[in-house]
Amino acid sequence: MNRYELIETLVPVLKDTLVVCNIGIPSQELFSICDRENHFYMLGSMGLCSSIGLGLALTTNKSVVALEGDGALLMNLGTLATIGNRAPDNLILLVIDNGSYGSTGDQATYTNEATSLAAMARGGGCQSVIECPGDETARVLANALDAKQPSVIISKVVPGNRPLPVVPLHPIVLRERFKETIQT
Amino acid sequence: MVNLSISAQLVATLKAAGVDFFVSVPCKLLAGQIRLLEQDTDVCYLPVTREEEGFGICAGASLGGRMPCILMQDSGLGNSINALKSLIQFFQIPVVMLMSYRGSPGEPVPAQVPMGLLAPELLKLMQIPVLNCHQPGDLGDIGSLVEHARIAQSPVAIFIDFQLMEGDA
């Protein structure tokens, strides 16, 4: 299972949550599979998906899923300490770990070698950390949403990208429709 | 407010202007404000590990309907340029940057000087409005700066320097 195939299985589970999606091809794939107003596609600022998700979760009662990548999380590892100590019950950090910088030509990340993002999350103080294969992730995510506690899910998939255009939404349109979704 | 310390005046002025969400990366000049925020139950406050992470959290809080503020050193501006440009300014998110003006006169650490010299021009180049707070009377302009952040949908910066914070209790 690759990222696109994983996201296809996640979309039904993400229907009623606020979704912050990692920059680049992950956002393009999510947009292509299913564009909804509860999706905030990052158009820039690689590495900050989990941080945007944390700020959002601290200021809304709705469930928030930060759909992060392994390469992007490696850019902002301090987030695991902040989330490990301050995440509210409505935050789920779901890392799509394909061991690859998919948007830049599939260079390998260190999660292919000795690095474990699950161990890093536990070291950061995160209590509920689950590493699972891609094809079990939708079920794990549904359970995590029901559990009403902060969770980190590391979903292991293989590299691979769909050739898709950039998300064609203007940032202010995207921001405003997302804010409206939060308020309703 | 004349009986309040400068730190207490800064926090009170920001709160009166509607700022209700704070993150911080520490600095000696920000220590008093951070101590107050840690005990403040009216607002959401959390320490963060790096400035660009803080801007991400502030962006999320703004989407959630809050008016966020990041406390940081001016040196942290160098860590944050992409977050400011491709997230905060690209999505036009209001954020107050309460920045210690390290590297300015009174600075005891030589290594702080290069970023201190660059920071004002960097903010100008990045088109971020700045309020320099050099004496207590300057704090009176914070309210209109925060309102400007809302109207302009823009980050704004407040510099607090060694002279202002001298004798802060």
pLDDT tens-place string over residues A120-160: 999 999 999 999 999 999 999 999 999 999 999 999 999 99
Q: Which of A20, A22, A56 to mutate to test the interface with B (most CBs of B within 10 A)?
A: A56
- What DSSP element (H or E) covers A17? none
Examine the pLDDT at B79 and tell me if it is beyond 70.
Answer: yes
Alpha-carbon distance of A174 to A120, in angstroms, equals: 32
Mean local confidence (pLDDT), B33-42 = 97
Q: Is B152 on the interface with A (CB under 8 A)?
A: no
pLDDT computed for residue A28 by the predictor? 98
Q: Where are the alpha helices (DSSP H) in A87-128?
A: 117-124
The tokens for B97 are 């940057």
Give the single-character DSSP code of A158: B
pLDDT computed for residue A57 by the predictor? 98
Q: Is B22 on the interface with A (CB under 8 A)?
A: no
Residues B71 and B22: beta-carbon distance below 8 Å:
yes
Give the single-character DSSP code of A2: B
Alpha-carbon distance of A173 to B159, in angstroms, equals: 32
Residue A96 pairs in a beta bridge with A69, A155
Tell me the whole-structure pTM to 2 decimals: 0.97
Q: Is B115 on the interface with A (CB under 8 A)?
A: no
A contacts of B68 (beta carbons < 8 Å): 55
> Inter-chain contact B56–A44, Cβ cutoff 8 Å?
no
Give me the interface pTM, i.e. the ipTM.
0.98
- Provide the number of structural domains found in chain B: 1
pLDDT computed for residue B168 by the predictor? 86
Q: Which fold has domain A3-183?
A: Rossmann fold (3.40.50)
Q: Is A133 on the interface with B (CB under 8 A)?
A: no
Split at pLDDT 50, 70, 90, the class of B2 is very low
Q: Which of A53, A78, A171 sits opposite B50 (nearest CB)?
A: A78
Examine the pLDDT at B167 and tell me if it is beyond 90.
Answer: no
Least confident of A35-39, B47-51, B105-109: B105-109
- DSSP string covering A165-181: PPP---HHHHHHHHHHH
A contacts of B58 (beta carbons < 8 Å): 55
Residue B45 pairs in a beta bridge with B22
pLDDT computed for residue B1 by the predictor? 44
Residue position matching structure tokens 């000696």: B28
Q: Chain B: nearest CA to A78, how far in angstroms? A: 5
Whether B1 maps to a domain, the answer reads no
pLDDT computed for residue A95 by the predictor? 98
Whether B115 maps to a domain, the answer reads yes
Examine the pLDDT at B3 and tell me if it is beyond 70.
Answer: no
pLDDT computed for residue B169 by the predictor? 65
Alpha-carbon distance of B9 to B165, in angstroms, equals: 11
Mean local confidence (pLDDT), B142-160 = 98
pLDDT computed for residue A184 by the predictor? 85
Spans of chain A, pLDDT less than 70: none
Round the average pLDDT of chain B to a whole number and report it.
96
Mean local confidence (pLDDT), B91-117 = 95
* A107-108 vs A100-101, strand pairing mode: antiparallel
Q: Is B63 on the interface with A (CB under 8 A)?
A: yes
Residue B107, number of CB atoms within 10 A of its CB: 15
CATH number for the domain harbouring residue B91: 3.40.50.970
Q: The domain containing residue B19 runs over which residues? A: 6-165
Whether B125 maps to a domain, the answer reads yes
Examine the pLDDT at B154 and tell me if it is beyond 70.
Answer: yes
Residue position matching structure tokens 């969400």: B21
